[in-house]
Chain A
Amino acid sequence: MKRYSAFAIAREAARYHEGWERAWTSPTPKKKYDVVIVGAGGHGLSTAYYLGKNFGITNVAIIEKGWLGGGNTGRNTTIIRSNYLQDPSAAIYEKARSLYETMSQDLNYNVMFSPRGVMMLAQTQAEIRGYERTAHANALQGVKTEFISPAKVKELVPIINLDGPRYPVLGALWQERAGTARHDAVAWGYARACSAMGMDIIQKCEVTGVRQEGGNVKGVSTTKGEIDCDKMAIVVAGNSGSLAEMGGFRLPMESVALQALVSEPIKPCMDVVVMANTVHGYMSQSDKGEMVIGGGTDGFNNYTQRGSFHHVEETVRALVETFPIVSRLKMLRQWGGIVDVTGDRSPIISKTPLGNTFINAGWGTGGFKSIPGSGWAMAELVAKGEPGPLAAEFGMDRFTEGRFIDESVAAGVAH
């Protein structure tokens, strides 16, 4: 892999950029791999990357039905934060956040992690108490957050309307080292690094069946032929149910649409990410200048990657109320993604009833921010066959035991 740098750009400019090599190869699948990862989104690619980096396992294929990073990795609102309430969540999201801090350097690919700060507005007494609780929990979890006053909110976000007659801003939970990153770059950076380690990323290859022998996975049938493997990792948000069905097991999960939108770009006016859960909306400004806006999930099972417009209305209404200056901006584009939501709205990183088969799913609305932590934990599970401490609490058995990881306690919309 040729390293990227300003020098490399200057060198290539001299030959009209005709000398750049492929960021990742386009191989035909081998007969057999140590590990087959189904799904080349952020989670699948980071799982592969840490399998190689942390465990030296590089005989790995990452199989992708469409194009890499084309699912939720490429259609989220790019927020990264770890101010979660429950210990297992805070641990994995903070691991992810800390890996984002050095990701550009680790991958030699600028993912533009921008620790610009995320604030979650408290607009009711109950929300104040909830966020004060989170701040206390975070302090002991090693997650740096603080509950800040309305005056401090205004100082950080001059365009906010503190005194909305309906829901005044009473304070906020502030995580200074939270922020955003360039979503596509995360997938591309991991893909390039995996490819450089000799892994095969096989795009436009759909898994059509899972072959098993003696209760263990033996391989997968795909549109590009049969591929054998010793272990399989299923990392396919929005399609987890189908893959589980092929593997012969069920999941405590439903798939729903989550929508987002961007405005036309304007000059910088908001340096931080603001989330307003009482009114159901959140907003940040991308480096291009677009206001990036999201809200809650739609209310029915859906695989169309389209949502219902009234949810967009609700979200925009909330943001026009919170940030009056955005009223005359225009919505440039709206879109939807399909998220898998589990019974407690927390993810699953787990062994499955099928031997040597592991699943990483159910990130709901929190997938992007967790990518490196999720991959780190998943790689350990796949490599060792047992979960490490990060994944330990996210097993599927928790639904039998009634041992939930419920974050809805602290957040109405979770992003």
Chain B
Amino acid sequence: MLILECPYCGVMADETDLHGDGEAHLKRFGPGSSDDDFEGYLFMRKNPKGVHFERWRHASGCGKFFHAARNTMTLEVYGTYLAQTLEPPKAIIDAVKAKHPEWEGYK
């Protein structure tokens, strides 16, 4: 029963108010892209054991999509941030690194 802080409205939202939407920061490949790129975009997933960047929607709240950095083994949440970014912000990366110095990084 996760709780995630919605970075838009500041509410500590219960999982029942949220909708999980899979891996964050997927780069869209459209017409003209290679088969590999397109398949990767649609289907290939990092699915890590550990630090995971993912998209959520505060579905029963403000309706905004946001991103979370969360550990899939411990369910620890390192932070949530706005969806309008191509990569996790530095503050989030730092928060993860502070906890896991051995972490290999977002890429």
Partner of B39, one of A302, A303, A342, A399: A399
Partner of A308, one of B2, B39, B54, B74: B2
Residues of A within 8 A of B16 (CB): 310
Judge whether B5 is part of the interface by a CB distance below 8 angstroms.
no
Chain B: minimal CB distance from A121 (Å): 26
A 243-280 binary contact with B (CB < 8 Å = 1; else 0): 00000001111110000000000000000000000000
Partner of B72, one of A303, A399, A400: A303
Judge whether B98 is part of the interface by a CB distance below 8 angstroms.
no
Partner of A301, one of B35, B39, B52, B74: B52
Judge whether A105 is part of the interface by a CB distance below 8 angstroms.
no
Contact between A241 and B48, CB atoms less than 8 A apart: yes
A400 with B47, Cβ < 8 A, contacts A254-B22, A300-B54, A310-B15 known: no
Cα distance A250–B46 in the bound complex, in angstroms = 8
Cα distance A300–B69 in the bound complex, in angstroms = 12
Cα distance A254–B20 in the bound complex, in angstroms = 13
Q: Give the contacts of B45-87 with A (CB-CB under 8 A).
A: 45-49, 52, 54, 70, 72-75
Chain B: minimal CB distance from A172 (Å): 31
Judge whether A242 is part of the interface by a CB distance below 8 angstroms.
yes
* Residues of B in contact with A, size category: 20 to 34
Chain B: minimal CB distance from A310 (Å): 5
Judge whether A309 is part of the interface by a CB distance below 8 angstroms.
yes
Judge whether B43 is part of the interface by a CB distance below 8 angstroms.
yes
Residues of A within 8 A of B49 (CB): 239, 241-242, 303
Cα distance A302–B45 in the bound complex, in angstroms = 14
Residue ID in chain B nearest A313 by CB atoms: B16
Residues of B within 8 A of A255 (CB): 47, 72
Residue ID in chain A nearest B14 by CB atoms: A310
B 28-47 binary contact with A (CB < 8 Å = 1; else 0): 00000001100110111111
Q: Give the contacts of B85-99 with A (CB-CB under 8 A).
A: none
Contact between B44 and A251, CB atoms less than 8 A apart: yes
Contact between A299 and B19, CB atoms less than 8 A apart: yes
Contact between B54 and A252, CB atoms less than 8 A apart: no
A 270-311 binary contact with B (CB < 8 Å = 1; else 0): 000000000000000000000000000001111110001110
Cα distance A239–B48 in the bound complex, in angstroms = 10
Chain B: minimal CB distance from A370 (Å): 21
Judge whether A164 is part of the interface by a CB distance below 8 angstroms.
no
A 29-54 binary contact with B (CB < 8 Å = 1; else 0): 00000000000000000000000000
Judge whether A343 is part of the interface by a CB distance below 8 angstroms.
yes
Contact between A343 and B19, CB atoms less than 8 A apart: no
Partner of A400, one of B1, B19, B35, B74: B35
Cα distance A299–B19 in the bound complex, in angstroms = 7
Cα distance A241–B52 in the bound complex, in angstroms = 13
Partner of A300, one of B20, B42, B48: B20
Using a CB–CB distance below 8 Å, which chain A residues touch chain B? Answer: 239, 241-242, 250-255, 299-304, 308-310, 342-343, 399-400
Known: A250-B44, A302-B75, A304-B72. 7 other contacts (CB 8 A): A253-B45, A254-B22, A299-B15, A299-B20, A343-B42, A343-B43, A399-B39
